[in-house]
């Protein structure tokens, strides 16, 4: 770094947290939404995850199978 930049950085005040702002952030609506999203409602996500996970796995297997088939066709190892 250049000398003037180092001097400018040295003159900056220390970055102390603002207690009033921290208290406001902890008590604000954003904090409430974050707390609400981390506490699951019984039965709300379990069934959805049980339905989507196998579907995503099946689509992944189908995609990889098609990639392998296209690769084999491209290199001429498999003819229709």
The full DSSP string for 3-68 is: HHHHHHHHHSPP----HHHHHHHHHSHHHHHHHHHHSPPTTTSHHHHHHHHHHHHHHHHHHHHHHH
Query: Does any domain span residue 70?
Result: yes
Residue 80 inside a domain? The answer is no
Residue 51 within a domain:
yes
Q: Indicate the pTM of the whole model.
A: 0.39
Instruction: Classify residue 54: in a domain, yes or no.
Output: yes
> Is residue 34 a part of any domain in this protein?
yes
Q: Is the pLDDT of residue 35 over 80?
A: no
Task: Note down the domain range covering 51.
Answer: 17-74
Structural domain count of the chain = 1
* Mean pLDDT (the chain, rounded): 80
Q: What is the largest CA-CA distance in the chain?
A: 74
Is there a domain that residue 46 lies in? yes
Does the residue 3 lie in any domain?
A: no
What residue has token string 């904090």? 31
């Amino acid at each position: 770094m250049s000398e003037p930049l180092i001097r400018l950085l040295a003159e900056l005040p220390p970055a102390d947290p603002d207690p009033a702002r921290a208290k406001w952030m902890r008590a604000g609506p954003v904090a409430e939404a974050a707390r609400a999203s981390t506490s699951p409602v019984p039965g709300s996500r379990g069934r959805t995850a049980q339905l989507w996970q196998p579907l995503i796995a099946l689509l992944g297997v189908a995609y990889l199978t098609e990639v392998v088939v296209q690769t084999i066709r491209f290199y001429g190892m498999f003819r229709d």
